[in-house]
């Protein structure tokens, strides 16, 4: 699993970047949720939506709290990390050696249910990105109406907007504000 998966989950809490105040929890949209599951290669067959959606929402809120503190330059709270640890601690694995066509491989087999494995995988990917990555690349779009979280892949880490759409929108807003003041 890569960072795109947990970013996708974080950004499922959608806010209209145009400033209308519209808000949408995409976890409630069955088509979006099915696409997320498919894109992330999570095995959630048979997990009822009534359990899945609230569990994903709780994980998203925990991760978002950490991201907001990191981006604001604040020290993260112990409770946030222990909340993520709880997801990881709930999923014990059995390790087996298995022969394959090129030799041997170590396989981890979960002894937990599918939902716990999914949540642990997402939490693990998030923690690995934060722990191994350059956290100065973790950003929230500067369009206060957007709130999109992204990893800044620019060479000099100068990206301020999630997409050029938000960047252009903010430039137009600043231009119109200057024109009003004249």
- Assign 63 a pLDDT band (cuts: 50, 70, 90): very high
168 vs 34, which has greater pLDDT? 34
Q: Provide the strand spans (E) within 36-153.
A: 93-100, 103-110, 138-140, 149-151
pLDDT of residue 177: 84
Structural fold of domain 3-89+115-181: Jann2411-like fold (1.10.3300)
What are the extents of the domains in the chain?
3-89+115-181
Model pLDDT for residues 7-34, shown as the tens digit of each residue: 999 999 999 888 888 999 999 999 999 9
3-state SS, the chain, equals CCHHHHHHHHCCEEECCCCCCCEEEHHHCHHHHHHHHHHHCCCCCCCCHHHHHHHHHHHHHHHHHHHHHHHCCCCCCHHHHHHHHHHHHCCCEEEEEEEECCEEEEEEEECCCHHHHHHHHHHHHHHHHHHHCCHHHEEECCCCCCCCEEECCCCCCCCCCCCHHHHHHHHHHHHHHHHHHC
Model pLDDT for residues 70-108, shown as the tens digit of each residue: 999 888 777 888 889 999 888 877 888 989 888 898 887
pLDDT of residue 65: 92
Model pLDDT for residues 119-166, shown as the tens digit of each residue: 999 999 999 998 888 888 999 998 888 989 999 988 888 888 888 778
Tokens for 154, please give them. 């620019």
41: left (phi over 0), alpha (psi -120 to 50) or beta: left
């Amino acid at each position: 699993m890569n960072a795109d998966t947990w970013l996708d989950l974080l950004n499922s809490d959608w806010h209209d970047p145009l400033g209308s105040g519209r808000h949408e929890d995409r976890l409630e949209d069955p088509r979006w949720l099915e696409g997320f599951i498919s894109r992330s290669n999570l095995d959630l067959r048979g997990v009822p939506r009534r359990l899945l959606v609230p569990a994903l929402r709780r994980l998203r809120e925990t991760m978002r709290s950490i991201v907001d503190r990191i981006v604001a330059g604040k020290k993260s709270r112990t409770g946030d990390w222990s909340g993520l640890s709880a997801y990881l601690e709930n999923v014990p694995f059995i390790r087996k050696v298995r022969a394959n066509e090129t030799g041997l491989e170590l396989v981890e087999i979960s002894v937990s249910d599918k939902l716990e494995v999914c949540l642990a995988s997402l939490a693990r990917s998030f923690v690995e990105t934060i722990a191994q990555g350059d956290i100065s690349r973790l950003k929230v779009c500067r369009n206060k109406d957007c709130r999109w979280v992204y990893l800044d892949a620019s060479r000099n880490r100068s990206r301020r907007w999630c997409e050029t759409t938000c960047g252009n929108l903010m430039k137009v807003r600043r231009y119109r504000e200057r024109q009003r003041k004249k």
